[in-house]
Amino acid sequence: MGADSDLRAETREKFKKVTVTKIHGQPTHTDITNLEEELVEAIANIPTSLGGGECGHAGLIVESATYLTHSNNIPFECPTRPAATPVKPSQADEKYNVERLHNEKIRIFNLYLGVEQGLKDKILEAVDNEYLLELKQGVFGYQKVTARAMIDHLRKRGGEMDHVDIMKIRKERDEPWNGSETPAAYFARVEKNVNLLALATPKPIVTDMTEQMMSVLTAFAETGHFDAAVREWERKPTSEKTWDNIKVFINDEFCKANKSGGLTAKQAGYGSANAAQAITDISEDHANFATNVVDVLKEVTQALAELQKVQKANHQPANPNAAAPSNTQASGGKTWAERRAERKKRFDDAPICKHCDGKHPGVPEAGCWELAVNAAKRKPNWKSKKSNSE
């Protein structure tokens, strides 16, 4: 059993290279769903004969009903520990096959245990310990708790889909296509959120895919580059106007235009409009990037003030057309690009606030505008990210 124990330890060790997203604070439905996807991606390619073999060890995380739809209806049944020695064969010539099969069962079992433990290590790494303490069993810790049980526990302790999650998912589903993402990415985003809404309880939310098709057609028409393609689609028989068909059609038209170079100017303009919208969205999220703009304006004002001081000291009239001192001179030896990089780093390093799911560098979580105690600090047009409205 020494070699088999080594296999178990080796498999668990490999999981240290797997990256999972750290969940700060109470895990939400979206957090847990993302964690499941990251874990499945890590184990789906670890081969095994369990569950038909096509999905690797994904059955350790994926729910049974969902797993069956991807495994030719073959269930993933966790193996039990094989006997210490194989059952003696009735025929002498069968001894080799019996021992070989027994050794394979032991290998499969130990590989399964290694994957299971690796999954639990990653869950414990991603989730703060306090949200899993209920499952801990004294000196055994989480030894007898499965990874699937951990996920289910998190779902039942605040990670189930609620109205906030549903409205957020719907908003992401209905976000129109724009020039900053490929059609393939757009369709994947829509389908992901359609599938998530179908899991809503007590009643699944069914998405009108015809409405989604109209949305993508409208977005493509607004670019001003796919008019002919949109008209071609409109001429198709009703029976051919399906979601699967429009995915192929739009991707094909986009690819053709991209190869011909016809997207360059128009898509750049369209992307700019979306960039402006992105700035608007960011400004609503505690005006994080707007702060950077204010910093730049302050630096320019400071530079002009320094120029006026120098001119006054030299008894020279101020010349409004005179060049301002360089950004390096006005900012302690740092260029504008360096200061911008510092501001970006401050934003990237800032933690995600558990109250608003956003970032606000320099403002602690206790100062988040989502908290009622900070209502007086909110800007007039501020909108809550936790609102039920779309």
Each residue of 329-377: pLDDT tens digit? 445 567 767 777 787 788 778 888 888 878 888 788 888 888 878 887 8
Q: Among the three residues 131, 159, 187, which one is the final residue of a domain in this structure?
A: 159
* Residue 150, pLDDT above cutoff 50: yes
Find the domain containing 265 and state its range: 163-282
**Is 350 or 148 the better-scoring residue by pLDDT?**
148
Q: Is the pLDDT of residue 325 over 60?
A: no
End-to-end CA distance of the chain: 58
Q: How does residue 194 score in pLDDT terms, banded at 50, 70 and 90?
A: confident
Tell me if 304 is assigned to some domain: yes
Q: Evaluate whether residue 343 is within a structural domain.
A: no
Flag whether pLDDT at 86 surpasses 80.
Answer: no
Q: Which range, 219-223, 257-261, 307-311, is most confident?
A: 219-223
Q: Which of 154-163, 209-218, 226-235, 287-296 has the lowest mean pLDDT?
A: 287-296
**Rounded distance between C-alpha atoms, residue 239 and residue 237, angstroms:** 5
pLDDT score for 316:
52
The per-residue DSSP string of 130-154 comes to GGTGGG--GGGTTTT--HHHHHHHH
Together in a domain, 141 and 179: no
Do 148 and 223 sit in the same domain of this protein? Answer: no
- pLDDT (0 to 100) of residue 323: 52
Q: In this structure, are 208 and 355 located in the same domain?
A: no
Q: Are residues 143 and 28 in the same domain?
A: yes
- Answer with the one of 242, 267, 282 that is the final residue of a domain: 282
340 is a domain residue: no
Q: Same domain for 134 and 239?
A: no
Q: What is the DSSP letter of 17?
A: G
Boundary residue ending a domain (159, 192, 223): 159
For residue 37, pLDDT beyond 50 = yes
- Scanning the structure block, which residue is given the tokens 């599938």? 195
Q: What is the pLDDT of residue 123?
A: 94
CA gap 255, 234 in Å, rounded: 20
**Is position 273 within any domain?**
yes
CA distance 42 to 20: 10
Same domain, 140 and 73: yes
Residue 269 pLDDT exceeds 50: no
Q: What confidence score (pLDDT) does residue 281 get?
A: 46
How many domains is the chain built from? 4
Rounded alpha-carbon distances, angstroms, from residue 47 to 54, 109, 155: 8, 12, 28
The pLDDT, as a whole number, for residue 75 is: 93
pLDDT at 147: 93
- 151 in the same domain as 71: yes
Contact indicator for 70, 54 with CB cutoff of 8 Å: yes
Residue 268 and residue 298 share a domain? no
**pLDDT score recorded for residue 278:** 42
Q: Which residue has the higher pLDDT, 377 or 111?
A: 111
Residue 279 confidence (pLDDT): 41
* 339 lies in some domain: no
Report yes or no on 318 lying in a domain: yes
Range list of H helices, 45-146: 64-68, 95-126
Mean pLDDT of the chain: 78
Q: What is the mean pLDDT of residues 164-186?
A: 83
pLDDT digits (tens, 9 = 90+) for 205-246: 899 988 888 888 888 888 777 888 888 999 999 999 999 999
Contact assessment for residue 56 and residue 46, using Cβ atoms and an 8 Å cutoff: yes
| pLDDT reading at 390 higher than 90 | no
Q: Which of 251, 303, 281, 286 is nearest to 361 (CA)?
A: 286
Would you state the pLDDT for residue 262? Answer: 57
Across 302-329, average pLDDT: 60
Is 236 inside a domain boundary?
yes
Whether residue 146 sits in one domain with residue 16:
yes
Per-residue model confidence (pLDDT) at position 331: 52
State pLDDT tens for residues 13-32: 888 889 999 998 888 888 89
Residue 344 lies in a domain: no
- Which pLDDT band holds residue 315 (cuts at 50, 70, 90)? low
Please, is 70 exposed, middle or buried when counting C-beta atoms within 10 Å of its C-beta (0-12, 13-18, 19+)?
middle
Q: Kindly indicate the confidence band of residue 272, based on its pLDDT and cuts at 50, 70 and 90.
A: very low
- Do 18 and 143 belong together in one domain? yes
Q: Are 11 and 155 in the same domain?
A: yes
Both tokens of 34, joined, read 């993302």
Is residue 1 scored above 60 in pLDDT? no
Instruction: Note the pLDDT of residue 266.
Output: 42
pLDDT tens-digit map of 66-82: 899 889 899 999 998 88
pLDDT for the residue numbered 371: 84
pLDDT of residue 326: 52
Considering the entire predicted model, what is its pTM? 0.51
Residue 270 scores a pLDDT above 70: no
Together in a domain, 268 and 139: no
**What per-residue confidence (pLDDT) applies to 90?**
61
Query: Cα Rg for the chain, rounded, in angstroms?
Result: 29
